[in-house]
Amino acid sequence: MTIRRLARSHRSIDKVRCECGTEILILPDVTAMSKAIDAHVIVHIQKLKASARTTAETERIRDNLIAQVFSKASQSENSEK
């Protein structure tokens, strides 16, 4: 997957949006991108009711953001062809 290339291309597709409305920049470094997502997931979960702070919910929020990154990366690939 070409997250690096996506971030380098720097078009209007360089952000993902969490379901809470927070936008996270897609970073050129996969490790940094992953850290940015994890950092948001922690903040996001802390805003939820205690009963909603489950591992499953944490994974769902993270998966949603990662899926958007991959989706945008593939859109970027397609538009370059």
Footprint on this chain of Zn ion (rule: CB under 5 A): 18, 20, 22, 44
Rounded Cα distance, 28 and 47, in Å: 28
Give the nearer residue to Zn ion in terms of CB position, either 9 or 34. Answer: 34
- What the block records as the tokens of 70 is 């991959």
Give the nearer residue to Zn ion in terms of CB position, either 44 or 72. Answer: 44
Instruction: Please state the closest distance from residue 46 (CB atom) to Zn ion, in A.
Output: 10
CA distances from 48 to 3, 39, 74, 78 (A): 30, 15, 31, 37
Instruction: Please state the closest distance from residue 22 (CB atom) to Zn ion, in A.
Output: 5
